[in-house]
A and B are shown apart, each in its own frame.
Chain A
Amino acid sequence: MDWDWNYAFEILPLLAQASLVTIQATLLGFLLAAVLGLVFAVLRMSPNRTISLPTTAVVEFIRSTPLLIQIFFFYFVFPEFGVSLDALTAGIIALGLHYGTYCAEVYRAGLDNVPRGQWEASIALNLTTFHTFRDVIIPQAIPPVVPALGNYFVALFKETPLLSAIAVMELMQQAKILGSNTFRYIEPITLVGAFFLVFSLVAAALIRLLERRLKRIGARA
């Protein structure tokens, strides 16, 4: 047991700086996931099989292969087609795409729960498909699934250390570099673990709060 508080305080500012990259990757990645997820979910609902079947196939493919490989894929494969991405962008795209497929399932649950009558009413009012989705279905489908989306937000946050595999200077990468410089891994890696634990627990508490509030709003309506 040779935990060194002085060293821990010394590296704290560096880790705090790296955590900004982690947070950036989380926010941008989830933004992408939330948007892509909705696109996947709506495409999957299409009555046209040439649209819905390939979407299902792509979603299943992404969901059942490891995120790490997808990160490598985006990082190494894009340059072959002449598009050179920096590591952080490639990582954010991979995270967003992977979690987009999870979000798609969540949205689908929300969309399925909108009563049929709402669709029929939209047809009766002669709304286009676009307007039906934008003004009638989606506003009713999303609020109930916000807590479930929140869970994936936390899950995505916890996957960001994978970006260290393509040398993004996020929290884990910083901790590894600090560890290899000084041969002291205890403090950096434990601090990273503590950071994730605290954030996840806080985020989980916030989601529970949000869930309760949404339920109350739902009950009032």
Chain B
Amino acid sequence: MAPRWIAVCVIVSFAAGLAVASFAGFREFIPGLLQGALVTIEIALAGAVVAVIAAFGAAMARMYGPLPVRWLAVAYVELFRGTSALVQLFWMFFVLPHFGVTLEPMTVAITALGLNVGAYGSEVVRGAVQAVPRGQWEATIALNMTRGEALRRIILPQALVAMIPPWGNLFIELLKSTALVSLITISDLAFRAQQMNQTTFRTVEIFTIVLVIYLAIAAVITTGMRALEQKAAGAVARGRVH
């Protein structure tokens, strides 16, 4: 992992250096872009919450729900994994109002992206739960636990540790897909970049800064998830001792 981090640092400092050195109007773009970045972060965070809830809900419904609920969960996952995120976004934005449901662009963005990533996430959750050794389930039966208790106290804590790294990847996917919301009139980072580009034509500078901002946010997510992974692994290891 170490060379990867060196590489990331190299490119960040290179890009930052390039940015600072090559243009005088640097100050002119940064405040507006950072404001856009805030919107991007807001959508990413709220979307992540929706994604996690949708993923756990769908995975649990698919594994333990009654048959109709199971079908519903399969339909949700296949529908959202089988079509483009942009099509889903446009569908909610342009088509839903015709059915009498008019949502704020922000709500559309958060729901559509959250549900999209949640569909992928539900497979991650399912995989992680199914990867918990059978013996753990048998032990909970021997201890006379109910299925809910067993899931909550024995199975999920172990599965959670296994699903942290794939969730890290999904959160980065989510961050990247937030750029799509610029196409439904939300003034996020991508939207502001395009707006500034149209008024100033300083394309290289603007888009370089934007790429670096996205990279920085992604680096924060990666670092955070890695810290979480270590902490969780430590907690489970302690749990086994006692």
Q: In the bound complex, what is the Cα–Cα distance between A76 and B84 (angstroms)?
A: 24
CB of B221, distance to nearest CB on chain A (Å): 9
In the complex, per-residue mask of B149-179: 1 if CB is within 8 Å of any chain A CB, else 0: 0000000000000000000000010011111
Would A172 and B98 count as touching, CB distance under 8 A? Answer: no
Q: CB within 8 A of B211: which of A1, A57, A65, A190?
A: A65
Binds B, one of A27-35, A130-138, A193-201: A193-201
Instruction: Point out the residues of chain A lying under 8 angstroms from B197, CB to CB.
Output: 72, 76
Interface secondary structure of A, over-half rule: helix
Q: CB within 8 A of B87: which of A56, A67, A165, A172?
A: A172
Interface secondary structure of B, over-half rule: helix
In the complex, per-residue mask of A1-33: 1 if CB is within 8 Å of any chain B CB, else 0: 110000000000000000000000000000000
* In the assembled complex, A66 has its CB within 8 A of some CB on chain B: yes
Would B172 and A64 count as touching, CB distance under 8 A? Answer: yes
Q: CB within 8 A of A65: which of B10, B78, B204, B218?
A: B218
Q: In chain B, what residue has the closest Cβ to A175?
A: B90
Instruction: Point out the residues of chain B lying under 8 angstroms from A69, CB to CB.
Output: 179, 190, 193, 207, 210-211, 214
Would A56 and B193 count as touching, CB distance under 8 A? Answer: no
Would A57 and B98 count as touching, CB distance under 8 A? Answer: no
Q: In the bound complex, what is the Cα–Cα distance between A76 and B193 (angstroms)?
A: 12
- Among A36-61, those with CB < 8 Å from B are 52-54, 56-58, 60-61
Instruction: Point out the residues of chain A lying under 8 angstroms from B194, CB to CB.
Output: 72
CB of B119, distance to nearest CB on chain A (Å): 12
Residue from B7, B88, B210 with most neighbouring chain A CB atoms (10 Å) = B7
- Selected A-B contacts with CB under 8 Å, 9 pairs: A57-B8, A61-B8, A66-B179, A69-B193, A69-B207, A72-B190, A184-B98, A197-B82, A201-B82
- Name B's A-contacting residues (CB within 8 A): 3-4, 6-8, 10-11, 78-79, 81-88, 90-91, 94-95, 98-99, 172, 175-180, 182-183, 190, 193-194, 197, 203-204, 207, 210-211, 214-215, 218-219, 222
- Name A's B-contacting residues (CB within 8 A): 1-2, 52-54, 56-58, 60-61, 64-70, 72-73, 76-77, 80, 158-162, 164-165, 172, 175-176, 179, 184-186, 189-190, 192-193, 196-197, 200-201, 204
